[in-house]
Amino acid sequence: MPYPSKLNSETLVEVAWQMMEDAGVEAFSMHKLAEHFDVKTSSLYRYYKKTELLRAVNIYTEKKLYLSVSGVLQSDADPLDKIRQIAQDYRSFGLSHPTTYGLLYTNTIDELRPDFEEGVQGILPFQALMAQISGEANSLSALRGLLAVMHGFVMLEIAGQLRRGGSLDDAYTYTIDAYLKGVSEETRHI
């Protein structure tokens, strides 16, 4: 266990994030986090109050999600193939980290949300990619639609609501392809 002088805000967030993934947000407490580091709970408050720590965990989750889906942006692949890969990586992230993914996208408390402007800056490369298939004028709407489709599918899958049989991998791929086909056809008809 690290000495209190070896505690830092980054380590606290990483450990809190993992504790939430392992046991759930409801089971997380500052006291349990302090026990993990073998320090008094009050030692943690030099870095974060609980609300601040939850916000830091959401920021950390958002950054991990962006990193997991942004690698394909640098490839020479066709824009549709890039978006398909982003959609697959997005789903993989959500399913691999259901607790913190859910915390990030289901909270309604402004104090827990990541910085809006940083989020906008993070999403702009994805909007530019969508613009290549939807046109610049429709890129924000197309991106919002894609995010809604991906997030909705992931949340339904996490909640165990897609139980009627068949391959969820195939269903997800079909859904993403159908959405992209619609966005691409809509662009050609405008």
Cβ contact 12:52 at 8 Å = no
**Given a cut of 60, is residue 21 above it in pLDDT?**
yes
Please tell me the predicted confidence (pLDDT) of residue 107: 83
| pLDDT (tens digit per residue) in 77-94 | 999 999 999 999 999 999
User: What is the average pLDDT value for the chain, to the nearest integer?
Assistant: 92
Please tell me the predicted confidence (pLDDT) of residue 110: 87
What's the token pair of residue 185?
């056809």
Least confident range of 111-115, 128-132, 153-157, 171-175:
111-115
**Given a cut of 60, is residue 2 above it in pLDDT?**
no
| pLDDT (tens digit per residue) in 161-190 | 999 999 999 999 999 999 999 998 766 554
Please report the domains of the chain, with CATH numbers, ordered by start residue. Answer: 6-48 (1.10.10), 63-189 (1.10.357.10)
**Given a cut of 60, is residue 4 above it in pLDDT?**
no
**Given a cut of 90, is residue 1 above it in pLDDT?**
no
Report the predicted TM-score, pTM, of the whole model to 2 decimal places: 0.90
